[in-house]
Amino acid sequence: MSGSTTVTLSTRIRKRVSGGNRIALLLLRRWDARIAIMILSLLTLSGVAPEALVGPLQTATTATADALLPPSGTHLFGTDDLGRDLLNLTVHGARISLVVGALSAAVTLVIGGGIGMVAGYRGGRVDALLMRVADTFLILPTFVLALILAPILRELIGDQTEIFGIRTTLLTIVAVIGFTSWSSTARIVRSQTLSLRERTFVERARLVGLSPMRIIARHIFPNIRTVLLANGIVVIAGSILTESTLSFIGLGDPFQPSWGTILGNAQSAAAPSLGAWWFIAAPGCAILVTVVACTIIGNAIDELLDRDVRVRR
């Protein structure tokens, strides 16, 4: 693309299109971001309408095939220790892993973003205290904390609740991830808020007499949206990894198996010793591909933001 046309194209787009869409358009220019977006779209499709792709989720009772069959024409990914088709399980697992990942990220962003903005805006003792608390949470071992929180939360939430079609056990995981991951988001949002606080339009709002809450909501929040977006995508990737680990050790829901749960089943069935590599490969590759795709997009957005900041100066 020659130099002048690029300039004209982007300035035209910039004028017409709002921030978020512009980021999407600019992202699509990069080949690696394009592939990542395609992969994530495919996964989201699996997550939204798994039945359309592979039919209903196979359970222990509805499984018809023999156990631990290697991949073949009838079973593309092979079968698990109960004879369930692994392609079926993996596609259905997409929904659980993605929804739990997204929910956890949402919780993390809300808590982290909220605390970060308050800490950054208020400053002083409030800030110091909040950051001290954040530091404490940062060092807590996720794994053990999850084990401890799980039964507690189960008592609190009750066994039969369902949100977004996700049952209690998994909601516990959402809560645990949110509980342990909010602190790094809080730090990032806090530093961004600190720099925003000194800008003139915030000064003006303060002078006019708007309440701090109002200022934060009206002026600060809109400007950290993009930072939250970039951070959010990375948080989603991390949440998916954490969720898979927690499900692996048994905190997941056997009736709503995520990729991690499937791997936990593989471990219990001694799949590695039996050489049942398909049992291990399918869900694991799904996790890998999702996390890599999210990280690539997150990094790309980060770079775009950097460039934006530089141009604005």
Partner 1 sequence: MSSNAGADHVRQLPAGADAASTLLEVSGLRVSFTLSDGRRLTAVDGINLSVAPSEAVGLAGESGSGKSTVVGAIMGLLAPNGRIDAGSIRYRGLDLVAKGAPLRRTRWREIAVVFQGSLVALNPVIKVRDQVAEAIELRLGEPAEVAQEKAKHLLHDVGIPEKRLNAYPHQLSGGQRQRAMLAVALSCSPAVLIGDEPTTALDVIVQAQILELLDRMRQEYGLGLILITHDLAVIADMCDRVAIMYAGRIVESGSVKEIFSAPRHPYTQALLGAAPDARAGRRTIKVLEGHPPDLSALPPGCHFAPRCPLADARCREEDPPTIEYADRVTLACHRYSLGDGKPPTPIDAPYPTLELGKR
Partner 2 sequence: MKARRWLLGRFGGAIATILMVLILNFVLFRLMPGSPDRALARNPRVSAAAMEAARVRWGLDKPIFPDQLIAYVGATITGDFGYSVKYGGREVTSVIGEKIGPTLLIVGLGELIALAAGIALGAWTGWRRGRFGDRVGTLGALILYSMPYFWTGMLLITLFATTLGWLPTSGITTPGGPGGIQGAIDLLRHAALPIATIALGLIGQYAILLRSSVAESLREGYVLTARAKGLRDERILRGHILPNALLPTVTLAAINAGYVIGGALTVEIVFSWPGLGLLTQEALQSRDYPILQGVFLLLSVSVVMTNLLADLLYSRLDPRVRHGAAR
Amino acid type, 53? L
Question: Which lies closer to partner 2 via its Cβ, residue 193 or residue 265?
Answer: 265
Contact partner, 71, from partner 2, partner 1, none, Cβ < 5-8 Å per class: none
Contact segment (CB under 8 A) with partner 2 among 46-54, 67-75, 169-177, 268-276 equals 268-276
Quote the DSSP letter at residue 61: T
* Binding residues for partner 2, total number by CB under 8 A: 43
CB of 138 to partner 1, least distance (A): 29
Question: Which lies closer to partner 2 via its Cβ, residue 121 or residue 179?
Answer: 179
CB of 203 to partner 2, least distance (A): 32
Contact segment (CB under 8 A) with partner 1 among 2-10, 42-50, 114-122, 268-276 equals 2-10
SS3 content of the chain, % helix, strand, coil (to 5): 80, 0, 20
Among 3, 73, 158, 209, binds partner 1 (CB under 8 A): 3
Contact partner, 3, from partner 1, partner 2, none, Cβ < 5-8 Å per class: partner 1
Please, what's the b/e burial string for 228-247 (b: 16 or more CB within 10 A of its CB; e: otherwise)?
bbbbbbbbbbbbbbbbbbbb
Q: Does residue 6 touch partner 1 according to CB under 8 A?
A: yes
Among 43, 102, 149, 189, binds partner 2 (CB under 8 A): 149
CA–CA gap between residue 22 and residue 107 (Å, rounded): 26
In Å, how far are 93, 99, 167, 168, 271 from 161, measured between CA atoms?
20, 16, 6, 6, 33
127-135, long-range: CB within 8 Å, 24+ apart, which pairs? 127/190, 130/186, 131/186, 131/187, 131/190, 134/182, 134/183, 134/186, 134/187, 135/183
Contact segment (CB under 8 A) with partner 2 among 58-66, 140-148, 188-196, 225-233 equals 140-148
Question: Which lies closer to partner 2 via its Cβ, residue 23 or residue 240?
Answer: 240
Beta carbons of 145 and 179 less than 8 angstroms apart: yes
Contact partner, 6, from partner 2, partner 1, none, Cβ < 5-8 Å per class: partner 1
